[in-house]
Amino acid sequence: MNRVWWLVLLLASFLPVAAEARELVELQCQEQAGLPEPTETERKRGFMLFSPSPLSVVFRNAESTLGERVAGLRGAACPGEFEPVVLVLRNIREESLERVSVELAGDARRAGGGTIPRTRIRVRTLSYRDKYWFSNKMWVVRDAPLILEEDRPSVDVPSDANQPFWITIEVPEPCAAGLYRGTVVVKVGGEVRTAVPLEFTVRPFRLARGSALFAMIDRLRDDERAIRTTFDDMAAHGMNSVLLCGESWLDFDLAPVVARDGSQALRSIQVEIRWKGEGEAGSIFERNMDVYSEYYFSRRFTKPVYWIASAELRARNRPPETFADKLSAMGIDIEAVASEQDPVLLGKVADAYVEFLRLVHEHGKEAVGSRRRWAPIVFEPLDEAFSSSEKRDYLRPLIRLIYGKVKALDPEIQLACSGLEGNATAGTAWNPANLTEIRRFELLDYIAFHDGPAIPRGNPDRTRWQLFRDWKNSFQPPEKKRVFFYNIDSKAGWHPEPLRFMYGLGQWYAGADGCFEWAYGFNDDPQAVYATVPAPPDYEVEQPSPYRYPRGQVNYEAGTVDELGGPAVGFETIREGIDDYRYLATFLRLRDRAVRRGDARRAELARALWDEFRVRYLDRIGFDLCKNRGNHSLPENWTGGMVRIGPEVYSVQGDLDVPNGLSLQEYAQMREFLARGIEAIR
């Protein structure tokens, strides 16, 4: 039977609003009949069970993405690795199934001894939410499969609807290798309706950490418990760094230093930061740095912290006072100074900001016992400073000065910039063969590109990217350049594949040094501005897309507060991408070790396996997903394409599978190939 599901895009006007309001574009899932015929057992219990890939987008009424009927759940992982399997319940009754839950019947056990405790096997309910995001219009995806709720004991499943459950095995470390067996039970109304065998293989090796940076962007948080909870969650998802942004609340002053000849001419701007004393909590920035450094020196995080300091260059005119506010109190408007390009005053402002960064850097370097006070900091003075965004254009002369002055003052200070790849439609493409204003590149230690290996943005040109890689690789330590990809899918959270690909095989294949994503989470308060959806009717403010949804998430449109939160599906998938990278790094490390040791047998086997892996998978990789950032509204990103079926109505078929040369099924195949290869050459 042909199993096809349809997504319908209904373009509609919303309530009468101001002229500048954005039109709302609605995306829904509508399904044709396509389920296999239920067995008598399935009819009696009222549901069917399926096990799709974690990469599949399973809408509430999807049928073509459900995968195979479940005979048993299977998975495999290394000690210390987290591995999800997905169980989807399809209600085939004409009425709702109430209080449906999936639970472990006990521990998973290995013949001959060994246990994975049931406390290390987490079951979470996938929650469908209306998901808003902005492209050229404001979109709403109705019932997007978005959040893995962490504390929901049961859920009601409507008639003819799916309910996915994610079962994540958190393999202890250490853990004996071998096959572990357990049982998953499905309950309805508190009664067991069926049992599903769980078989899980623990592999006989540990994964290498790898050299790449894996991170999320998050705001500076006030509460130490919230900071630790956030860092714990990131570390558990494979992150080895954090990108912090927002107001620092540092206690500092700017003071004019004027000429002594009576002219009162401004000679310089003095900067003083008052650091916290013993036993004091200090500023938000200090609290975050104290906790991050604790994690860094205990090796829970292994990379420098990355501070996007843009907030200091924005005047708020309310607490906390930023660097720009302090200038304003002196009668200096940072926007006017930068826009008018008064070279003398601009230089003095740049000198003051450089001194501000230097003081932070020096404070972090101070010895505290046997180590430095803080983990190393990478400074990004202004987010996306050289992108094609008009809102940042006026600050570019100031930023150029800051980069040059920082490196002239102290080459040890690490500098970063994002958004440098330009934009094809805005005519700001960067051509590495014509290194205009190249000093802004040469002075950088970290260079971040939107989406992936695309210069300009939206144009994944292999030749141009290779030119850039050659330029990047021409620098040797300590001038070595590191390249990151970021915001692979910052508008969604329910698109699993783009994130797994770019955090894993994609960034490695492109020769990048890391990935980070906007944004972890921005709302602790149920009444916060950053909520599940933007408040209608104007849809004017684009809301960040959190990858960790807190409790008390506001839904303005429905007028409700959802009590349960949890990670977005995309956040869980990032961890899978990081693990892909680690499997790859482990294999290559063993291959290189065999060559160094002169182990001819293992070296030859590793070479043959690598050649096969390259032919099967690597030679087919492409980056066309960078053209549209995994956009769900484009035909090429759905396996069945998109067809217009009526006025302003479109349908798409199949699964969301971005154009990168790989099918969704091949990720598991690649993982298994590398695992077997690692075992063969250990």
pLDDT tens-digit map of 591-638: 999 999 999 999 999 999 999 999 999 999 999 888 876 566 676 777
Q: How far is CA 326 from CA 63, 184, 335, 406, 501, in A?
A: 59, 60, 13, 21, 44
Angstrom distance (rounded) from CA 305 to CA 364: 11
- How confident is the model at residue 391, as a pLDDT? 52
- How confident is the model at residue 134, as a pLDDT? 65
- Dump pLDDT digits (tens) for 105-137: 999 999 989 999 999 999 999 999 877 766 666
Average pLDDT, the chain: 84
Structural tokens at position 118 = 């049931």
First to last CA, the chain: 46
**Residue 204 in this model has a pLDDT that exceeds 70:** yes
Q: Return the axis-axis angle of helices 569-596 and 600-616, rounded to nearest 10°.
A: 140
Q: What are phi and psi of 407, to 5 degrees?
A: -70, -30
Work out the burial of residue 130: count CB atoms within 10 Å of its CB; fewer than 13 is exposed, 13-18 middle, 19 or more buried: middle
- How confident is the model at residue 387, as a pLDDT? 66
Report residue 226's pLDDT band, with 50, 70 and 90 as the boundaries: confident
Contact 508, 587 (CB under 8 A): no
- Dump pLDDT digits (tens) for 452-505: 998 878 888 888 888 888 888 888 888 889 999 998 887 778 889 999 999 999
Range ranked top by mean pLDDT from 363-367, 534-538, 564-568, 644-648: 363-367
- How confident is the model at residue 7, as a pLDDT? 33
**Residue 253 in this model has a pLDDT that exceeds 90:** yes
Classify strands 642-646 and 191-202 as parallel, antiparallel or unpaired.
unpaired
Angstrom distance (rounded) from CA 571 to CA 545: 11
**Residue 438 in this model has a pLDDT that exceeds 60:** no
Contact 495, 656 (CB under 8 A): yes
The neighbour count for residue 182, using CB atoms within 10 Å, is 22
**Residue 8 in this model has a pLDDT that exceeds 60:** no
Q: How far is CA 558 from CA 28, 30, 279, 550, in A?
A: 17, 22, 46, 18
- How confident is the model at residue 346, as a pLDDT? 92
**Residue 295 in this model has a pLDDT that exceeds 70:** yes
Structural tokens at position 335 = 């926007």
Work out the burial of residue 268: count CB atoms within 10 Å of its CB; fewer than 13 is exposed, 13-18 middle, 19 or more buried: middle
DSSP bridge partners of 462 = none
* % of the chain with per-residue pLDDT over 70: 82
- Dump pLDDT digits (tens) for 15-71: 233 334 456 677 777 666 578 999 999 999 999 999 999 999 898 988 888 888 998
- How confident is the model at residue 20, as a pLDDT? 44
The neighbour count for residue 54, using CB atoms within 10 Å, is 23
Torsion of CA 420, 424, 429, 431, to 10 degrees: 120
- Dump pLDDT digits (tens) for 582-603: 999 999 999 999 999 999 999 9
The neighbour count for residue 442, using CB atoms within 10 Å, is 14
Element counts in the chain: helices (H) and strands (E): 15, 33
The residue ranges of DSSP E strands in 52-205, in sequence order, are: 68-69, 73-77, 82-91, 97-104, 108-110, 115-116, 121-134, 138-149, 155-157, 162-170, 178-188, 191-202
Q: What are phi and psi of 449, to 5 degrees?
A: -115, 135
Contact 352, 268 (CB under 8 A): yes
Q: Residues 363-376: what's their mean pLDDT? A: 94
DSSP bridge partners of 201 = 76, 179
Report residue 220's pLDDT band, with 50, 70 and 90 as the boundaries: very high
Angstrom distance (rounded) from CA 105 to CA 123: 12
Q: Residues 289-308: what's their mean pLDDT? A: 97
SS3 for 670?
A: helix
Contact 269, 255 (CB under 8 A): yes
- Dump pLDDT digits (tens) for 145-195: 989 988 888 999 999 999 999 999 999 999 999 999 999 999 999 999 999
Angstrom distance (rounded) from CA 34 to CA 65: 11
The mean-pLDDT minimum among 265-269, 620-624, 656-660 falls in 656-660
* % of the chain with per-residue pLDDT over 90: 55
Angstrom distance (rounded) from CA 77 to CA 100: 28
Q: How far is CA 351 from CA 328, 401, 528, in A?
A: 16, 9, 37
- How confident is the model at residue 395, as a pLDDT? 76
**Residue 305 in this model has a pLDDT that exceeds 60:** yes
